[in-house]
């Protein structure tokens, strides 16, 4: 019987684990909300002790300069993609955070390399608070699922799904 440690890694919110070719990759919101790091290990229970490798840091100003949240690592068509949310300021006039969704790409075999390229913001039909992007290939087509607040709808954010023309 295998016993799994929970949490897998301490002091990390929004954890994401991907197993690819026998290796586990872990990423999550860093407590400083200022960077994105990845850990890797052959065993899921070893992720807590695995060395963390920073692959991206927030900008000094502008849209990707605050509150880096909820990174997710995906392997799509031979490349690595990392979806995350970032903000420009604390809050919009509506009181909502200014988070939008962004994508990084790495075409190396190993996502721990330093060859990450900013692909930019994921634009949706609404320009409003959005986060928690995840991607899936369904019947050969790529989709994005995310949470977003529609100011015209009372209540919290909604979940949306859309077909993607490319991973970014």
**Cβ-based burial of 94 (10 A; exposed 0-12, middle 13-18, buried ≥19):** exposed
Q: What is the pLDDT of residue 155?
A: 85
Whole-structure pTM value:
0.94
**Helix, strand, or coil here: 45?**
helix
Is the dihedral angle over the CA atoms 93, 94, 98, 100 positive or is it negative? Answer: negative
**Cβ-based burial of 90 (10 A; exposed 0-12, middle 13-18, buried ≥19):** exposed
Q: CA nearest 5: which of 43, 37, 53, 51?
A: 43
Angstrom distances, CA of residue 29 to CA of 86, 123, 125 = 11, 22, 26
Q: What is the pLDDT of residue 130?
A: 96
pLDDT in tens, the chain (168 residues): 888 888 899 999 999 999 999 999 999 999 999 999 999 999 999 999 999 999 999 999 999 999 999 999 999 999 999 999 999 998 888 888 899 999 999 999 999 999 999 999 999 999 999 999 999 999 999 999 999 999 899 888 999 999 999 999
Angstrom distances, CA of residue 68 to CA of 44, 85, 131 = 24, 6, 10
Q: What is the pLDDT of residue 96?
A: 84
Do the Cβ atoms of 131 and 146 come closer than 8 Å? Answer: yes
Distance between CA atoms of residues 150 and 131, nearest Å: 13
Length of the chain: 168
Q: What is the pLDDT of residue 94?
A: 80
Q: What is the pLDDT of residue 167?
A: 95
Q: What is the pLDDT of residue 97?
A: 87
Angstrom distances, CA of residue 85 to CA of 23, 35, 49, 101 = 25, 11, 26, 4
């Amino acid at each position: 019987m295998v016993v799994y440690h929970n949490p897998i890694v301490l002091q990390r919110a929004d954890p994401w684990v991907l197993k690819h070719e026998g290796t586990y990759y872990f990423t999550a919101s860093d407590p400083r909300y200022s960077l994105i790091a990845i850990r890797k290990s052959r065993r899921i229970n070893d992720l807590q002790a695995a060395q963390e490798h920073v692959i991206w840091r927030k900008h000094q100003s502008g849209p990707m300069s605050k509150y880096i949240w909820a990174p997710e690592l995906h392997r799509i068509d031979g490349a690595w993609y990392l979806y995350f949310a970032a903000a420009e300021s604390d809050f919009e006039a509506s009181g909502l955070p200014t988070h939008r969704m962004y994508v990084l790409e790495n075409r190396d075999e190993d996502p721990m390399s330093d060859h990450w390229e900013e692909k930019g913001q994921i634009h949706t039909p609404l320009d409003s608070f959005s986060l928690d992007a995840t991607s899936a290939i369904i019947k050969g087509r790529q989709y994005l699922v995310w949470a977003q607040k529609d100011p015209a709808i009372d209540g919290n954010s909604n979940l949306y799904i859309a077909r993607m023309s490319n991973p970014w």
